[in-house]
């Protein structure tokens, strides 16, 4: 090889070596850059993870705080509700007129009223406007024992359950107390006897009733006042005057309460009214008034399906006969005849029993013509019953 070729060969080798060296440097630089980029990406990832973690922890703390706030608010709300209930209970107890707590009261009255099927007659001690509330609460409970004992000895005592001692104090708050009593006993048939003494001189007697007819409003009867007995110089005279006043209290409210109970038993069970039959002899005008007043109960009993139409008019005729309401009795008996002719299928054993009782009432009244008509109707009803037997008339 000549000199020129050697120089060219050497130069070519040097260039190649230089290229290899550059390539190696570029590769190392590239690897270094890759490593730097990888580390930078790792740092960014760690930073992002750290930021997410801080954000999560911050969000979790916020949720914890919100939960704690909700819990504290709920606790405060419950405490406020409990405080309000306690305050309301204390307010109710401040005016609570009964001698028993609500639960015991409800259980006792459900039992005595036979789950609302038997009326209650309640006696409250009479209030005196000259006495303060504390004096009334701690004073003698007057005008309870006498009227309640008279009722127990009366012919109509089994028409209701008399109850004395239910109230811990006189009902001196007037209409408010009556409202509270009615609200507490609104699901029961009740007659409440109550009274107020005015200026130590007048006794005002009040009777309130509810639950006697289905869905009826409160019936309130305000009697004329009774004069309080004049203070006597002798203790015996004062006692006698007080006893006579309590007897007059009974004579005022008892007929009204008894008629209300007559209505109740008629409308609920179909029982024929009987108060007019229990009056002593010589009270014919009062007997007629009471008999007429009880007749509306037959309309209720028929409307509610307790009595059939035929039984209702037979019962009405009987009460009219017993009460001396002759024209009404004649009209009802004419209606009975028409009903028997128009609806012989309505005749039953109860029809025959009712007609027999009606005939007995007419005979007891001395009206023989009316008695004959009724017994003729009874015979026709009996024949119809025999005809309806299997095989026809025997």
Position 261 pLDDT exceeds 70 = yes
pLDDT value, residue 91: 61
For residue range 333-357, list pLDDT tens digits in order.
999 999 999 999 998 999 999 999 9
Position 216 pLDDT exceeds 70 = no
CA-CA distances (angstroms) from residue 393 to 20, 164, 356, 383, 389? 143, 58, 21, 8, 7
pLDDT value, residue 237: 78
User: Which residue, among 386, 384, 385, 361, has the nearest Cα to 373 in the 3D structure?
Assistant: 361
Residue 41 or 193, more confident: 193
* DSSP letter (8 states) at residue 118: S
What is the total residue count of the chain? Answer: 394
Residue 38 or 326, more confident: 326
Sequence-distant (6+) residues with CB within 8 A of 157 are 151
User: Which residue, among 354, 352, 343, has the nearest Cα to 381 in the 3D structure?
Assistant: 352
Least confident of 68-72, 132-136, 220-224, 303-307: 132-136
DSSP notation for 58-114: HHHHHHHHHHHHHHHHHHHHHHHHHHHHHHHHHHHHHH--BSS-HHHHHHHHHHHTT
CA distance 316 to 125: 38
162 HSE (CA, 13 A, CB side): 20
Give mean pLDDT, residues 203-224: 88
Position 299 pLDDT exceeds 70 = yes
Position 268 pLDDT exceeds 80 = yes
pLDDT value, residue 236: 77
Q: Considering the chain, what percentage of its residues have pLDDT values greater than 90?
A: 48
CA distance 364 to 362: 5
pLDDT value, residue 139: 45
Least confident of 70-84, 105-119, 215-229: 70-84
Contacts 24+ apart (CB under 8 A), 192-195: 192/122, 192/124, 193/121, 193/122, 193/123, 193/124, 193/147, 193/253, 193/257, 194/124, 194/126, 195/124, 195/126, 195/127, 195/143, 195/249
Position 159 pLDDT exceeds 90 = yes
**Distance, C-alpha 339 to centroid of its chain:** 40
CA distance 270 to 311: 9
pLDDT value, residue 205: 95
CA distance 73 to 284: 74
Position 188 pLDDT exceeds 90 = yes
Give mean pLDDT, residues 244-262: 92
* DSSP letter (8 states) at residue 2: -
- Residue 206, phi then psi, degrees to nearest 5: -130, 140
Q: How many CB atoms lie within 10 A of CB 298?
A: 25
Give mean pLDDT, residues 303-311: 94
How far separated are the first and last CA of the chain, in Å rounded? 166
pLDDT range class, residue 80, cuts 50, 70, 90: confident
Give mean pLDDT, residues 76-94: 70
Position 231 pLDDT exceeds 80 = no
Sequence-distant (6+) residues with CB within 8 A of 105 are 98, 166, 184
Q: Which segments of 159-214 are extended strands (E)? A: 161-164, 190-198, 202-210
User: Which residue, among 184, 206, 204, has the nearest Cα to 194 in the 3D structure?
Assistant: 206
pLDDT range class, residue 88, cuts 50, 70, 90: low
For residue range 106-153, list pLDDT tens digits in order.
999 999 999 999 999 999 989 888 876 655 555 445 677 888 899 999
CA distance 296 to 263: 8
**Distance, C-alpha 346 to centroid of its chain:** 38
Position 392 pLDDT exceeds 60 = no
pLDDT averaged over every residue in the chain: 84
Position 59 pLDDT exceeds 60 = yes
Q: For 74, left (φ over 0), alpha (ψ -120 to 50), or beta?
A: alpha
pLDDT value, residue 25: 61
Residue 274 or 2, more confident: 274
- Write out the two tokens for 211: 């639950």
- Write out the two tokens for 5: 């070729």
């Amino acid at each position: 090889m000549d000199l020129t070729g050697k120089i060219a060969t050497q130069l070519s080798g040097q260039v190649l070596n230089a290229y290899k060296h550059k390539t190696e440097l570029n590769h190392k630089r590239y690897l270094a850059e890759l490593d730097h980029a990888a580390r930078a990406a790792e740092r960014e990832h760690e930073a992002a993870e750290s930021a997410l973690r801080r954000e999560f922890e911050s969000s979790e703390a916020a949720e914890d705080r919100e939960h704690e706030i909700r819990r504290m608010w709920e606790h405060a709300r419950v405490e406020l509700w409990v405080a309000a209930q306690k305050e309301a209970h204390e307010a109710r107890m401040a005016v609570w007129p009964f001698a028993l707590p609500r639960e015991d009261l409800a259980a006792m009255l459900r039992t005595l009223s036979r789950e609302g099927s038997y009326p209650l007659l309640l006696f409250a001690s009479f209030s005196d406007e000259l006495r303060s509330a504390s004096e009334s609460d701690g004073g003698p409970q007057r005008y309870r024992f006498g009227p309640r004992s008279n009722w127990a000895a009366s012919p109509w005592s089994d028409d209701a359950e008399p109850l004395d001692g239910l109230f811990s104090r006189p009902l001196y708050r007037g209409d408010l107390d009556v409202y509270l009593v009615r609200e507490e006993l609104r699901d029961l048939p009740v007659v409440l006897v109550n009274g107020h003494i005015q200026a130590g001189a007048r006794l005002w007697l009040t009777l309130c009733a509810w639950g006697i007819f289905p869905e009826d409003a409160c019936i309130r009867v305000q009697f004329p006042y009774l004069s309080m007995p004049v203070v006597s110089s002798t203790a015996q005279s004062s006692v006698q005057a007080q006893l006579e006043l309590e007897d007059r209290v009974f004579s005022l409210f008892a007929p009204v309460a008894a008629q209300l109970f007559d209505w109740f038993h008629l409308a609920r069970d179909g029982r024929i009214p009987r108060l007019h039959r229990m009056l002593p002899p010589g009270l014919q005008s009062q007997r007629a008034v009471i008999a007429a007043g009880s007749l509306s109960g037959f309309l209720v009993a028929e409307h509610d399906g307790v009595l059939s139409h035929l039984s209702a008019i037979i019962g009405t005729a009987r009460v009219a006969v017993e009460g001396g309401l002759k024209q009404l009795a004649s009209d009802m008996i004419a209606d009975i005849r028409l009903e028997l002719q128009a609806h012989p299928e309505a005749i039953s054993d109860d029809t025959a029993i009712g007609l027999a009782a009606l005939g007995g009432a007419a005979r007891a009244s001395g009206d023989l013509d009316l008695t004959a008509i009724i017994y003729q109707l009874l015979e026709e009803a009996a024949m119809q019953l025999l005809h309806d037997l299997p095989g026809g008339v025997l």
